[in-house]
Structures are given as structure tokens and as C-alpha cells.
Amino acid sequence: MKLFKNIKAFIKDTIALFKQKQYKEIRHKFKRLFVGMKFMDGLLFKILIYTLLISLGYIYLYPILYMLTNSFMTMADIIDVSVKWIPSSLNWENYQLVWEAINYPSALLNAFILSIFPALSATVSSAIIGYGFARFNFPLKKLLFVLMIMTFIIPPQITMLPTFRMYSQYNLLGSLKAFIYPAILGQGLNGAIFILIFYQFFRMIPKSLEESAQLDGASHLQVFLKIAIPLAVPSIIIVFLFSFVWYYNETYLSGLFLRGSDLLTLPLRVDQYINNYTSIYPEGSRARELMQAVKLAGNVLTILPLLIIYFFTQRYFVESIDRTGITGE
């Protein structure tokens, strides 16, 4: 609104100056409006920024809008080539079919169990390991730090076979232990990133606070629990949320380590239902195309809990990212 007022005032002043033949003043106003004093406050820069934001917003929103609108389409809408975006009617049967086929309430509860407990374990272990790297000097510290980073660099496909055989020997396959035990040891999903977040945050805490507590007789454990942890609340929030989302959306490791178990992620459960249905039909058949709307409905039901969680926690999420500095600042 302020931008339009400035343009309107510029046009009005330009007309007045043009009548007075003050062309130099017109050029000055033109430069000040479009270029600004430091370019960043000019109209051209704002147009560039808004264009970039709208383009990025379109890139991110297009798949969501496509998924949402097509999930309500009927079989007739899918067959009709004239129907692209807006369905002829809201077909809730697609959602009902997925809801009943995967037993959505039970599947959602299992997905939360599969996500919350490993996320809590990863948060606790990452805080302890990150504090240890940030505050203590011990033999082979740099080597262990490099090995920890390499656990994130190395693709999981490379370590898939030995990890699977190890889990099989320790009877971890098909249970929640396959996710909780690695998380407790700091080797959960993307555990190296969480350790680095805590490591960077604990390094920013002044050592004088801990030294003062130690002079008063506090042990290292008391310093960690009563000084470091309360200050690390932003890091704890961001690590838990990231870990929860990654475990919630995990399909590759869930399908590998939890095969035959009821504890499956929602994306994997929806994919299994769609694959079981379409496997009885040949490739390229019309039946496979008709199941696309049902699959999109399942995807909407999958991401809906995450959207609700983000709606209630977005303030803490944004504040935590800003205070932990994980954007690279």
C-alpha cells in the first residue's frame, strides 16, 4: 500500500514539475524512486525481490495445490481430459477409501510412536555428544569428530548391507529398537547434523558461566544440566522438530528394518496399499490411472498432521532457527 502511495505521489509531482519545466528535478525524483539512495530501497530492487519470492512460492505451492485439487477428482474427472485443475465435484470417497484401507487412526498412532521416541533419543544423545565435543579435550578428539561428520557424508545405501546384517544378529529387525538404539548412540537419522547444531551452540556459551559454577562446587554434570541445557532450549526445539519430521517421512530405512512390523510410517503404508492394489493390473492400464487420485488423497492425509503441528509450533520453530544460527550466519 505504501508503495502505491509513493508511485501516485511521484506521478503527481512529476506532472507538476514537467509543467514548470524542471527536468533536472524530474530526473532526480525518477532516480530516487526507482533506484533509491542505496539501490536496496529503490523500486527496481523491490520488484526484483517480490518477483523472486512469488516465483519461489509458486514452485513450492504448485505441487501442493495440484495434489489437493486432484485428490478430490472422481473417475469421470480423471478420464475427462478437459478437467485439469478444478474437479466437477468434491469426491470425499478417495479419502474415505484410504482412511479405511490403512486404518488411518491406528496408522497415525504407530507413525507418531515411530517418530517421537527416536526423536527424543536423538535429541538427548546429540546434546550430550555436542557438549562433550564443545567443552572437553580428550585423545583422538579431532579424529572422532571427523568420523562423526563422515557418518552423514557417506550415503546410507553403502552401509545398508552391513547394518542390516548387524541388526539381524542382534534381533533388532521388525521392532522400534532398530531406530531407538542408533538414536541413543548418536547415530540416528542425520544425527551428525544435530550434533553439529549443539556443538556450535555450546561453543557460543561463555566459559565464564561454567567456570563460575565450578568455583561454587558444581560438577560437570550439574553445569551441563543447570546451565548448558536451559540455555540450549532453542537448539533442543529445532533438533527435536527436525528429527521428528525426518523419522515421520522416512520410507527407505523403515521398509528395510521394520519389514513385517505394524510400526510403519504413513508414506510407506500408503505406498504399500497403492502398490498392492495396482500390482494386479498390467502396466499402463486404466485402473492404475484411476488410483492416482486415491494416492494423492493418501499423501494429503500423510502431510496433514505435519501441517497442523507446524501451525501450532511455527513461532518456536522460527525463533529457534534464528537463535541457533543454523542458516549459516
CATH at 201: 1.10.3720.10
Residues 270 and 259 in one domain: yes
Name the domain count of the chain: 2
Residues 165 and 284 in one domain: yes
- For residues 87 and 73, give the distance between their C-alpha atoms in angstroms, rounded to a whole number: 5
Q: For each of the chain's 329 residues, which pLDDT tens digit applies?
A: 555 555 556 566 556 655 555 555 556 666 665 666 665 666 677 778 888 888 888 888 888 888 888 888 877 777 776 777 778 778 888 888 889 888 889 889 988 999 999 999 999 999 999 999 998 888 888 899 998 888 888 887 788 888 888 888 888 888 888 899 999 988 888 888 999 989 988 888 888 888 888 888 888 888 898 888 888 888 898 899 999 999 998 888 888 888 777 778 888 888 888 887 777 666 666 666 667 888 888 889 999 998 888 888 877 777 666 665 554 43
Tell me if residue 117 falls in helix, strand or coil.
helix
Residues 216 and 151 in one domain: yes
Residues 203 and 175 in one domain: yes
Residues 86 and 106 in one domain: no
Q: Which helix (H) or strand (E) is 144 found in, with range?
A: helix 141-153
CA angle 268, 273, 275 (to 5 degrees): 90
Is position 319 within any domain?
Answer: yes
Q: What is the pLDDT of residue 205?
A: 83
| Final residue before a domain boundary, out of 91, 114, 134 | 91
Residues 32 and 175 in one domain: no
Q: What is the pLDDT of residue 186?
A: 86
Residue-range definition of the domain harbouring residue 40: 2-91
Residues 230 and 184 in one domain: yes
Calculate the alpha carbon distances from 196 to 74, 130, 236 in Å: 48, 7, 12
Is position 329 within any domain?
Answer: no
Residues 78 and 104 in one domain: no
Q: What is the pLDDT of residue 329?
A: 38
**Range list of H helices, 159-285:** 160-169, 177-184, 191-204, 207-215, 220-223, 229-231, 233-249, 252-257, 266-278
Calculate the alpha carbon distances from 143 to 134, 140, 146, 150, 250 in Å: 14, 5, 5, 11, 30
Q: What is the pLDDT of residue 116?
A: 93
Residues 49 and 128 in one domain: no
